[in-house]
Structure 1
Amino acid sequence: MERAGSVGVELEAFMVEYGRRTNAHDVGRLRELIADDASYWFTDGSYEGVEAIAGAVQRTFEEIRDEIYTISDVRWVHVSADFAVVRYRFHWVGFVDGQRREGRGRGTNALARRDGRWQVVHEHLST
């Protein structure tokens, strides 16, 4: 991370945990890392609020079986005590309708510290 210190350590740990929970395919645990008022922009549409986002993510988990999701080339665009922006590349591999498929793209997340913990307030994924 370009900026060292405890905030940097917290943010790096957050991104690792976000990836871990994504790969666990447990929307309930993933949604704890998403702000109630978050917005997510995916290739298939935009979603406002944690309920709509959780529904979209759950549909993806059901569509792509045994998905493994990885992020790389993580770059912190902005870091402060309570707000951060990160961009990265993502790759996924899994089974769609019984056939092995994979994809890749770019992601940007805005994170805010609320009530002492980091949460995603916006995510934009594009292929």
Structure 2
Amino acid sequence: MTPQNLMQEYEKALASQKWSRVEPLLHNDVCVTFFTGTFKGKEEVHKAFENNFATIKDEKYSISNIHWACLDSVTAVCLYSFKWQGIINGQAASGGGRGTSVLINSGGTWQIITEHLGPNAS
């Protein structure tokens, strides 16, 4: 799998709202920053993702405008736009912003080790 393929699979995994699809794409030492906080390691990240999945029903998630800032045989860094929409507390909701992901090739397998999601620039 290439870094580009990994990000495509990650987008699909997030849209599925199933941790079992997201988990293999993340490094054990993953660190994720959302607007709700920073979560370190798979256990904390798992809880954060499950909370998001439980909060946003029928979520549709997409990644676009990927820019590869660094891409070599062991490290890849990409910046992108993300959008989501779903149902929160029975009401339609949506959002989006900018993301940065750092991927590493560990033992021949590409995985996300860092993700930072934030708002679009003003």
Same fold (TM > 0.5)? yes
- Normalised to the residue count of structure 2, the TM-score between the two structures is 0.95
Shift of 1:11: 1.6
Shift of 1:76: 0.2
- Normalised to the residue count of structure 1, the TM-score between the two structures is 0.91
* Number of aligned residue pairs: 119
Shift of 1:40: 0.7
Q: Identify the residue that residue 4 of structure 1 maps to in structure 2.
A: none
Measured in 2, the distance between the counterparts of 1:11 and 1:121 equals 12
SS in 2 for 1:81: coil
Q: Identify the residue that residue 31 of structure 1 maps to in structure 2.
A: 23
SS in 1 for 2:2: helix
**Match status 1:21 vs 2:5:** no
Structure 1 residue ranges, 4+ long, deviating more than 6 angstroms after superposition: none
Could you give the per-residue CA deviations for residues 30-67 of structure 1, whole angstroms, max 9, x where no partner exists?
11111111111110000000110011001000000000
Shift of 1:24: 1.0
Structure 1: state its 5+ residue gaps.
1-8
**Match status 1:126 vs 2:118:** yes
Q: Identify the residue that residue 58 of structure 1 maps to in structure 2.
A: 50
Q: Identify the residue that residue 100 of structure 1 maps to in structure 2.
A: 92
Structure 2: state its 5+ residue gaps.
none
Measured in 1, the distance between the counterparts of 2:64 and 2:21 equals 22
Q: Identify the residue that residue 34 of structure 2 maps to in structure 1.
A: 42
**Match status 1:112 vs 2:104:** yes
Question: RMSD in angstroms over aligned alpha carbons?
Answer: 0.9
